[in-house]
Amino acid sequence: MIKTPEPGWYPNPEVPSQIRWWDGNQWTDHTAPNPMATPDVLPPSHGAGGTPMGSGLGPIGPWISETMSLLSARIGHVFTLAVVLTLVPNLVAFVIAYGVLRDAEFIMTVSGDTSFRGFDVVSVSLVAVAFFIAQLLSIAQWVGTGRQVQRERIGHPEPWSASVAPSLLRMVRVLGVQFLIQGSFLILLFVVAFLAVLIHPATLLLSIPLALAGMLYLAARTALGMAAASVAPSGLWSIPNSFNLTSQRVGPILGRLIVLVMLYFGGSTLVSFLSQVVGASEPIVFDSSGPLIINLDTFIGGNPALFLLAILLSALANSMLLSGVFAALVVLYGDLGGKFTDDLVSPVEGAESLSQSHGF
């Protein structure tokens, strides 16, 4: 059995001045200039904001502007990813919750006694799993948006459908980096607090500023680590790699994160307000003349369809906001010199690497 070459950029056999993408089985229509066909030194690639990719941190304004420009160029594909990976799963989860918990009630009496009706472990577990899966797919959407942005940045965009499968795979790595960094910090914080109590209860107060400092310090590294996990080669997505990129830059990166958080919460607050206006859910009022009964109708009000519309639009808008934050982190990762997986690098970089390894 003849083994075919691995997928990658190779010299175009039909046009020597070009390189062409081999998908592992056949030549595709994707071509690019062959950097080995001219003695001229190619300039470094630039993003839309004019900052050389991999040159380091530039001003915050151009970084945000470049991210917005890249997102605008791919808005149709990014929005479709949001519909497929966020809107549809949340719709399914809501339908399951409505069907399972439609008759469930939480009852509180004036004396403070509480009781439940219509709840069981299987029903609650089913609803929890449905919304958990919806949340996981939302994270895959963020990864897919970062992928769309990087492909647009190098001038080789891909359709949204091509981003789904790799984004689902990378989602696991993103969650792994987040849980590993934050989990390790929480364990360390617990150990410090436990030792402080053993020494003297008053020393426990010292763990509070330690916790705040640790959270700020790790925020930058966690954010960049998640971006690296979503787009870096399999051997370079690890925590040590993201820590190396943030070395001596934690402060500036943290400042950029604060800007992203402010932008996100500003947009999220507006979305929440609009969803409440659209949903028109009824306020919960305790009537002393009888028990307080809380069920789905308490929240939905008189128009379940309108409430569902508000919930779905809110989930879609918030997911789009978070995917924009993630896209900005991917751009930041590239500005810091982070490496991208083979299908996310420019054809020029891929051809140079290929030429060096195969002697072209």
The pLDDT of residue 326 = 92
Distance in angstroms (rounded) separating the CA atoms of residues 357 and 169: 28
Is the pLDDT reported for residue 264 higher than 80? yes
The pLDDT of residue 167 = 93
Q: What average pLDDT score do residues 42-67 get?
A: 63
Query: In the numeric block, which tokens belong to residue 61?
Result: 């304004």
Q: What average pLDDT score do residues 285-291 get?
A: 59
Residue 309 binned pLDDT confidence (cut-offs 50, 70, 90): confident
Distance in angstroms (rounded) separating the CA atoms of residues 175 and 252: 24
The pLDDT of residue 302 = 64
The pLDDT of residue 112 = 65
Q: Tell me the residue type at 292.
A: L
Residue 33 binned pLDDT confidence (cut-offs 50, 70, 90): confident
320 or 211, which is more confident: 320
Q: What average pLDDT score do residues 320-330 get?
A: 92
The average confidence (pLDDT) of the chain is 77
Contacts of 187 (CB under 8 A, 6+ apart): none
325 or 339, which is more confident: 325
The pLDDT of residue 277 = 65
- Give the number of C-alpha atoms closer than 13 A to the C-alpha of residue 241, restricted to the C-beta side: 21
Place of tokens 């910090």: 185
244 or 294, which is more confident: 244
Contacts of 160 (CB under 8 A, 6+ apart): 76, 77, 78, 80, 81, 84, 144, 148
Residue extents of the structural domains in the chain: 1-33, 58-335
Is the pLDDT reported for residue 12 higher than 60? yes
Residue 329 binned pLDDT confidence (cut-offs 50, 70, 90): very high
Distance in angstroms (rounded) separating the CA atoms of residues 19 and 37: 10
Report whether 104 contacts 115 (CB < 8 A). no
Is the pLDDT reported for residue 65 higher than 60? yes
Q: H or E stretch including 354?
A: helix 347-358
Report whether 30 contacts 156 (CB < 8 A). yes
The pLDDT of residue 352 = 46
| pLDDT tens by residue, 155-213 | 888 999 999 999 999 998 888 887 887 777 777 777 777 777 777 766 777 667 777 77
Query: In the numeric block, which tokens belong to residue 211?
Result: 């916790």
| pLDDT tens by residue, 37-49 | 544 433 444 444 4
Among 50, 13, 54, which residue's Cα sits nearest to residue 34? 13
- Give me the percent of the chain exceeding a pLDDT of 70: 76
Among 335, 340, 329, which residue's Cα sits nearest to residue 223? 329
Distance in angstroms (rounded) separating the CA atoms of residues 2 and 22: 16
Residue 20: other Cβ atoms inside 10 A: 20
Select, from the ranges 26-30, 159-163, 211-215, 314-318, the one with the highest average predicted confidence (pLDDT). 159-163
Q: How far is CA 193 from the centre of its chain?
A: 32
115 or 290, which is more confident: 115
Q: What average pLDDT score do residues 273-277 get?
A: 70
Is the pLDDT reported for residue 217 higher than 60? yes
Contacts of 282 (CB under 8 A, 6+ apart): 298, 299, 301, 302
Is the pLDDT reported for residue 287 higher than 60? no
| pLDDT tens by residue, 221-233 | 888 888 888 888 8
Which region among 29-38, 109-118, 130-139, 343-352 has the lowest average model confidence (pLDDT)? 343-352
Beta bridge partners of 8: 22
Query: In the numeric block, which tokens belong to residue 103?
Result: 């008759």
Residue 133 binned pLDDT confidence (cut-offs 50, 70, 90): very high
Among 337, 168, 243, which residue's Cα sits nearest to residue 345? 337
Report whether 164 contacts 81 (CB < 8 A). yes
Residue 283 binned pLDDT confidence (cut-offs 50, 70, 90): low
Range list of H helices, 50-159: 60-73, 75-82, 88-101, 121-153
Q: What percent of the chain is helix, strand and coil (3-state, nearest 5)? A: 65, 10, 25
* 251-to-38, 92, 254, 338, 349 alpha-carbon distances in Å: 42, 42, 5, 18, 31
Report whether 228 contacts 242 (CB < 8 A). yes
The pLDDT of residue 353 = 45
The pLDDT of residue 360 = 39
* The model's pTM: 0.72
